[in-house]
């Protein structure tokens, strides 16, 4: 690390320590000393093992499942660093829990994504770093500085190296068109959109594909794969519509419920994801490939610490 970075310290919660270790390895430093554990009644207890007075502190903690536990753990860590007189506290949250509760779909519902943003700001966070939010408008929920990173360059590098001939980037819904177009612009290819109807929060029906996929290599792109219901139906529909092959990519592989079984049985060649969320052994099926965001996070942390541009990392 450059000499100027001696005041920078990176810490990790329990959500994804492997990613935090990878980040500091790219930075040429070591992870800060801290301990996060539970008391006998389930309360979270945090202890910082070194002085952070006047330091630029970065906490790497995706609020992935169990979301309530990782979120509360993060808030308590922030409070500990604030009371230890850290100069600035930046939360590096590759996956933002509650992001899918970003609006009121019907009366008397909360907007939980906004509530979590309020909690972080009120808790003493000075800056937030997130990656591929469910909808970009969530950036406006924060009243503190925020950097919104994207895994698109990493995904684009992978697919460019793999080739693939005549490619079509497929959005699973209208809301994901901008994401599909952005990847298409990076690797070349056309775009298509799946038309679907959501019958329940975890139940959808794919009924049509808008665009030409016949004879093409189809790549479905989304921010999150949760239950994989849309992915499974979409892959079957694309093959029936004449796609030569179907691959799937996303930033956040939640893989909940029957997701692994659906991905295994669906007519999908490859599932490309990133390591924003830790993956247990049973989720690492043969067709799954995990790309690392460690270097991107490391470069972003250094850019923020040195007061240089973060957006240049995505040019």
Q: Which residues are catalytic?
A: 196
**Which of 194, 201, 196 minimizes the C-alpha distance to 226?**
201
Q: Is 45:36 a contact under the CB 8 Å cutoff?
A: yes
List, as one string, the DSSP characters of the chain.
Answer: --GGGGGEEEEE-SS-HHHHHHHHHHHTS-PPPEEEEE-TTS-EEEEE-S--TT-EEEEE----SSHHHHHHHHHHHHHHHHHTT-SEEEEEESS-TTTT--S-SSTT---HHHHHHHHHHHHT--EEEEES-SSGGGGGG-SS-EEEE-SHHHHHHHHHHH--SSEEEEESSGGGHHHHHHHHHHH--EEEEEEEEEEETTEEEEEEEES--TTSEEEEEEEEESS-HHHHHHHHHHHHTT-SEEEEEEEEE---TTHHHHHHHSS-S-EEEETTS---GGG--TTEEEE--HHHHHHHHHHHHTT--SGGGG-
Question: How is residue 290 written in tokens?
Answer: 């995990």
Beta partners for residue 171, in sequence order: 193
The Cα–Cα gap between 54 and 75 comes to: 20
């Amino acid at each position: 690390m450059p000499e100027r970075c001696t005041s920078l310290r990176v810490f990790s919660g329990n959500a994804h320590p492997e990613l935090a270790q990878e980040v500091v390895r790219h930075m040429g430093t070591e992870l800060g000393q801290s301990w996060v554990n539970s008391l006998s009644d389930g309360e979270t207890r945090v202890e910082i093992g070194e002085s952070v007075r006047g330091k630029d502190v970065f906490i790497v903690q995706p609020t992935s499942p169990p979301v309530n536990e990782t979120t509360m753990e993060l808030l308590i860590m922030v409070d500990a660093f604030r009371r230890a007189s850290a100069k600035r506290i930046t939360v590096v949250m590759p996956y933002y829990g509650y992001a899918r509760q970003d609006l009121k779909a019907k009366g008397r519902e909360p907007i939980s994504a906004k509530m979590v943003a309020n909690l972080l700001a009120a808790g003493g966070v000075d800056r937030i770093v997130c990656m591929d939010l469910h909808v970009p408008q969530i950036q406006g929920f924060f009243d503190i500085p925020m950097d919104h990173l994207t895994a698109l360059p990493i995904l684009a590098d992978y697919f460019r190296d793999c080739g693939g001939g005549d490619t079509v980037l497929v959005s699973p819904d209208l809301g994901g068109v901008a994401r599909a177009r952005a990847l298409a612009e990076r690797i070349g290819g056309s775009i298509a959109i799946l038309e679907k109807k959501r019958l329940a929060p975890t139940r959808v029906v794919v009924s049509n594909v808008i665009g030409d996929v016949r004879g093409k290599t189809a790549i479905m792109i989304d921010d999150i794969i949760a239950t994989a219901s849309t992915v499974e139906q979409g892959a079957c529909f694309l093959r029936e519509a004449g796609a030569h092959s179907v691959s799937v990519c996303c930033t956040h592989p939640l893989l909940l419920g029957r997701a692994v079984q659906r991905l295994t049985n669906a007519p999908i060649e490859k599932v490309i994801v990133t390591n924003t969320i830790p993956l247990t052994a049973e989720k690492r099926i043969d067709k799954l490939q995990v790309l690392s965001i460690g270097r991107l996070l490391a470069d972003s942390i250094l850019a923020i610490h040195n007061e240089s541009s973060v957006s240049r990392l995505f040019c």
